[in-house]
Structure 1
Amino acid sequence: MGDLTEDPAFAATTFVVIDFEATTPKGYPAQPIEVAALALRYESGAWAAGRQFSSLIQPPAFAPVTPAVTAQTGLTPEQVSQAPSPAEALGALDRRFAAGKQYLLVAQHAATEANIIYNQREHCPALARIDLLDTVPLARYLVPGLHNYQLDTLLAHFSIKQPADRHRAYADVEVTAQVFIRLVSAADGNPELSDLAALVKIAGRTAKWNLPVQGGLFDI
């Protein structure tokens, strides 16, 4: 392909597409009720899918699954009532990340995932240190002129079939991965996106745990 996929830093990176479904109780941040992830590597001129992960997550008592959440995701209070706790589910995902390897998380509207991960960082410290790529600004740059950059719009633009269980975490991960692959293919022919650093400049989001802490005015 082009310069981007020939960049050694790009080739050395495992891209982990991630998605959460969540419930957002009044007065609290979003609480995850499902997570899914899929590892992608670009090797020998082609994409290779690696390990995948999916788990329901039992929300705290103050964050019940509401009828609105059920209408969107299909998940019911009964389904999550016996699910693993956030510590169990996110801890299991966290152990998938090997020390010393280079990762980037990929998400559609990555601020949502970044906030959930940061708020759950005690359960997933390795995951919480990984920076993100957001498919929304990347798509805006590479596919200008769409009326919006929601996932459904990008699926239609790239002729990617809507999954039957859209708004479940793993279904959304699979189609987001397809969108990301299409976007990388478009970027590969763009001389302004010749390496991973250029991609990150356009679509990167620093993990909140990696941001510098601003000390108070009178801190000693």
Structure 2
Amino acid sequence: MVIDFEATTPTGYPAQPIEVAALALRYESDAWTVGRQFASLIRPPAFAPVTPAVTAQTGLTAEQVSQAPGPAEALGALDRRFAVGKQYLLVAQHAATEANIIYYQREHCPALARIDLLDTIPLARYLVPGLPNYQLDTLLAHFSIKQPADRHRAPADVDVTAQVFVRLVSAADESGQLGDLAALVKIAGRTAKCNMPAQGGLFDIHPAGGRGHDEPV
């Protein structure tokens, strides 16, 4: 499952989500297929208003999000997409951002908060060394992926992140550097904070193994 948030960053508080998008990817019959997609605006709390700077970056306005469902409703709806007993992996560009947001919203999305992550940035560093940086725009240019008109909106960003991830997996397969999903996770996997001992940091390398290529991410 590829995921992306847009958020406000109020002083003295964790980032507060104002939009989320996710899409399911599954590898089967030697090809990646896109499954169900989800997107929702999220109404932020009063202490985390949409600022002019957020509007300049995302295009979202305070008026738009004021009519949106709150975190409990929006993230609860996303959380119900995850079936009990199935294994998932969250894919994100700079997964620390998504991981932090999910952790601080965990009461609204307990299933989501238990899913480990794979960060496209360290994966890209490993597979495509020598780029000037590993920001999403740089990776889009490297892989000749068209820049979406609504870049910095969650649905657009999750779509192009998924495209980058598929290109990275293809590069790994063609080069023979990483043989399966477990190898990708060893390079770029991150353990969700809810799955770690209380004294641990936010991220840790996910143990290798435990997932096959045909399982959803």
State whether TM-score is above 0.5: yes
| Aligned residue number for residue 146 of structure 2 | 161
| Aligned with 1:40 (options 7, 25, 29) | 25
Q: Distance in 2 between matches of 1:191 and 1:80?
A: 45
Which one-letter code corresponds to 1:79 in the other structure? Q
Q: Distance in 2 between matches of 1:141 and 1:135?
A: 10
Q: Distance in 1 between matches of 2:189 and 2:26?
A: 18
Which one-letter code corresponds to 1:121 in the other structure? R
Question: What is the DSSP-based 3-state SS (H/G/I as helix, E as strand, rest coil) of the residue aligned with 1:103?
Answer: coil
Shift of 1:197: 1.7
Question: What is the DSSP-based 3-state SS (H/G/I as helix, E as strand, rest coil) of the residue aligned with 1:133?
Answer: strand
Return 5+ residue gaps in structure 1 as ranges. 1-15, 216-220
What fraction of aligned residue pairs are identical, expressed as a percent? 88
| Aligned residue number for residue 213 of structure 2 | none
Which one-letter code corresponds to 1:24 in the other structure? T
Which one-letter code corresponds to 1:22 in the other structure? A
Q: Distance in 2 between matches of 1:99 and 1:190?
A: 35
| Aligned residue number for residue 159 of structure 2 | 174
User: Runs (4+) of structure 1 moved beyond 2 Å?
Assistant: 189-192
In the alignment, structure 1 residue 107 sits paired with structure 2 residue 92: yes
| Aligned residue number for residue 118 of structure 2 | 133
| Aligned residue number for residue 38 of structure 2 | 53
Q: Distance in 2 between matches of 1:133 and 1:92?
A: 22
Which one-letter code corresponds to 1:33 in the other structure? I
Shift of 1:47: 1.0
Shift of 1:156: 0.2
Shift of 1:194: 1.4
Shift of 1:45: 1.2
| Aligned residue number for residue 198 of structure 2 | 213
Question: What is the DSSP-based 3-state SS (H/G/I as helix, E as strand, rest coil) of the residue aligned with 1:165?
Answer: coil
Q: Distance in 1 between matches of 2:101 and 2:136?
A: 19
Which one-letter code corresponds to 1:136 in the other structure? I
Q: How many residues align?
A: 200
Q: Rg: which structure is higher?
A: 1
Q: Distance in 1 between matches of 2:199 and 2:188?
A: 24
| Aligned residue number for residue 7 of structure 1 | none
Which one-letter code corresponds to 2:67 in the other structure? Q
**CA root-mean-square deviation:** 1.0
Shift of 1:192: 3.9
Shift of 1:191: 3.5
Which one-letter code corresponds to 1:125 in the other structure? P
Which one-letter code corresponds to 2:155 in the other structure? Y
The 5 A counterparts of 1:1-220 are 16-214=1-199
- TM-score w.r.t. length of structure 1: 0.89
Which one-letter code corresponds to 1:154 in the other structure? L
Which one-letter code corresponds to 1:175 in the other structure? V
Question: What is the DSSP-based 3-state SS (H/G/I as helix, E as strand, rest coil) of the residue aligned with 1:189?
Answer: helix
- TM-score w.r.t. length of structure 2: 0.91
